[in-house]
Amino acid sequence: MKSKLKYILFWGISILLILAVYKCNINSTYAVSKELFNEEITSKEKVIYLTFDDGPSCKVTNDVLDILKENDVNATFFLIGNQIKGNEEIVKRIYNEGNGIGLHTYTHKINKIYSSDDAFIQEMIQCRNEVNRVIGVSPNIIRFPCGSDKRLNKNNLKKLHDKGFKIYDWDLDNTDGMNPKLCPDTLYRKAIKGSENRNSIILLLHCTDMQKNTCKALPEIIKYYKSKGYEFRVITEDTPELFFHMKGKAFK
C-alpha cells in the first residue's frame, strides 16, 4: 500500500513540475498586455490581425493590396519612413482602402535606432511625420524592427507611452522576413501553424519586393482563417497592446 502511494505521489509531483516548466517556457516567449490576455480568455470572438512590415514597396505592397481587396479583408501595414518618398500613392491606397498604418521607424537601421531611447523615439516621430505628410493622419501604433524582445523595459515603455505610442509585436510568424524565398506552401503552413484553439492572432508578414511568394501564399492564408470563422481586423489605438517579454536593459 505504501509503495503504491509513493508511486502515485511521485508521478503526481512529476506532472506538476512538467506543467510548471511548460508554462514558464510559454511565458518567456512573449508577454501580452493584461487587456489582451483577458480578451483571449473571456472572448469567444475569433479575430486575426494580418500585419505587413517593411513597406511600402512598389510591386509587392500593391499586389498584397489587390489580394486583400479581392478577398474583402483588411490588414495593418507597419511602414518604414524613408521608403515613403516616391511611394506616396501606395500609402494613400493603403489608407483609402480601409487598412491600418503603423510606424516601423524611419531608417530601419538597427544600430542607429537602438542606440538610445531618444534615437528610437525620434525615428518613430520622423516616420509619423512622413505618414502625415502623405495622408494627413499621425498614427501612434508602432512595431520594433526585429521585435521588442530584449529591447523593451519598464523605463522605455513608459517613455513610449508618455509620447502616446502603443506597441504591437506578433504572436504568429510565417518567417518570410528571414526566409523570403520559401515556397508558397511552406509560408502558408507556417502562417497557420499554432493557430488552433486561439481566439486572437497577430500574424507577422512582410511586403518588400523580396516577398513575392508571400503574395502567392496570401489567398490561401485568408481562405484558411475565413474557414475557421476568424474576423479580420486592423490594429488601431484601441487594440490591446501586445509586446514581447520585457527583459534586462533595452537601450543605453
Residue 2 pLDDT exceeds 90: no
Residue 247 pLDDT exceeds 70: no
What's the pLDDT band for 248 if we cut at 50, 70, 90? very low
Is there a domain that residue 3 lies in?
A: no
Enter the pTM of the model. Answer: 0.83
CB 68 within 8 A of CB 75: yes
User: What are the residue numbers of the active site?
Assistant: 53, 206
For the chain, give the longest Cα–Cα distance. Answer: 80
pLDDT at 245: 73
* Domain residue limits at 37: 30-243
What phi and psi values does residue 32 have, to the nearest 5 degrees? -110, 155
Is there a domain that residue 12 lies in?
A: no
Is there a domain that residue 138 lies in?
A: yes
In whole angstroms, what separates CA 223 from the centre of its chain?
Answer: 20
What's the pLDDT band for 225 if we cut at 50, 70, 90? very high
Q: What is the CATH number of the domain that holds 232?
A: 3.20.20.370
Span 8-18, pLDDT tens digits = 444 443 443 33
The total domain count for the chain is 1
Nearest to 251 by CA among 124, 132, 118, 114: 114
Is there a domain that residue 20 lies in?
A: no
Q: At what angle do helices 117-135 and 88-96 cross, to 10 degrees?
A: 80
Question: How far is 200 from 226, CA to CA, in rounded Å?
Answer: 14
Span 84-107, pLDDT tens digits = 999 999 999 999 999 999 999 999
Is there a domain that residue 8 lies in?
A: no
What phi and psi values does residue 85 have, to the nearest 5 degrees? -60, 125
Is there a domain that residue 14 lies in?
A: no
